[in-house]
Structure 1
Amino acid sequence: MSLNVVTLVGRAGRDPDVKYFESGSVVCKFTLAVNRRTRNSDEPDWFNLEMWGKTAEVAANYVRKGSLIGVSGSLKFEYWKDRATGADRSAPVIRVDRMELLGSKRDNEAAAASGGYADDEF
């Protein structure tokens, strides 16, 4: 048996980057800041998110920088060669299957108006 499940709640680190393909597919990518509690302060961990299809369209229409969302999906790694050095590179990405819009409409509007986080928490 194997299990690859990731569940996160945090705030969007930037507006979604959306791409539409001739095939009709749509992909949406952005970062998510999730607080990690430490003794002295809350430090955010940053996660790269990737979503496809209807989930991507919802994110494109409703998520803005600072929006509070919950996601669940699986962890994958993207691999490539660095153009400058030719070195093999990799980065973890959360492939989102499900997304919940958690902030209120007022919170999301405040985040959009300020261009950032609606409050001090992630």
Structure 2
Amino acid sequence: MYHRPVFQALRQFVRCKSTEPPNMILERSLNRVTLLGRVGQDPVMRQVEGKNPVTIFSLATNELWRSGENEIFQTTGDINQKTTWHRISIFRPGLRDVAYQHVKKGARIYVEGKIDYGEYTDKNNVRRQATTVIADNIIFLSDLRDKS
């Protein structure tokens, strides 16, 4: 059917062969997020009854742009900034413990993981939605001692 190796590899990535009926074909998908930012709060470790502990902290990423009539190659104008806050959760035991001990407010870190959407009920019994990044890897880019 496909003779070129590139097409064969692409076909394998898009659809995994299965012995299941046609409506049960498993397709591969991808849920990856990469963030580079500064930690907004020292991590906390929480444990819900009967579940594994989780380390949680917030991470800020910034987007900068210049505003004006001609934004392409513009060297003058107002600089605008938007900060987006991300909730980072770590469940992997080794990474969870290292992050809890070494991640500090203000540290610059690189996070790889996946996005998870969930719901919870707050203290007032109101259902809320939460978006969380489940971290698989963290790279420490700076130490608080680097700050002057």
Specify the TM-score bucket, using the shorter chain as the normaliser: 0.7 to 0.9
| Equivalent residues in 2 for 1:68-107, closer than 5 Å | 68-84=108-124, 86-104=125-143, 106-107=145-146
Larger radius of gyration: 2
Question: What is the CA-CA distance between 1:37 and the residue it aligns to?
Answer: 1.7
Q: Say which structure, 1 or 2, has more relative contact order (CA 8 Å, 6+ apart).
A: 1
Candidates 61, 65, 78, aligned match of 1:34: 61
Question: What is the CA-CA distance between 1:77 and the residue it aligns to?
Answer: 1.2
**Normalised by the size of structure 2, how large is the TM-score?**
0.63
CA distance in 2, matches of 1:43, 1:98: 25
How large is the Cα RMSD of the aligned pairs? 2.4
Q: What 5-or-longer segments of structure 2 have no aligned partner? A: 1-27, 67-78
3-state DSSP of counterpart to 1:74: strand
Question: What is the CA-CA distance between 1:47 and the residue it aligns to?
Answer: 0.2
Counterpart for residue 15 of structure 2: none
CA distance in 2, matches of 1:28, 1:48: 11
Q: What 5-or-longer segments of structure 1 have no aligned partner? A: 108-117
1:38-87 CA-partner distances (Å, limit 9, x unpaired) = 33322211000000211111111111100010000000012023453x54
CA distance in 2, matches of 1:58, 1:103: 15
Question: What is the CA-CA distance between 1:102 and the residue it aligns to?
Answer: 0.6
**Normalised by the size of structure 1, how large is the TM-score?**
0.75
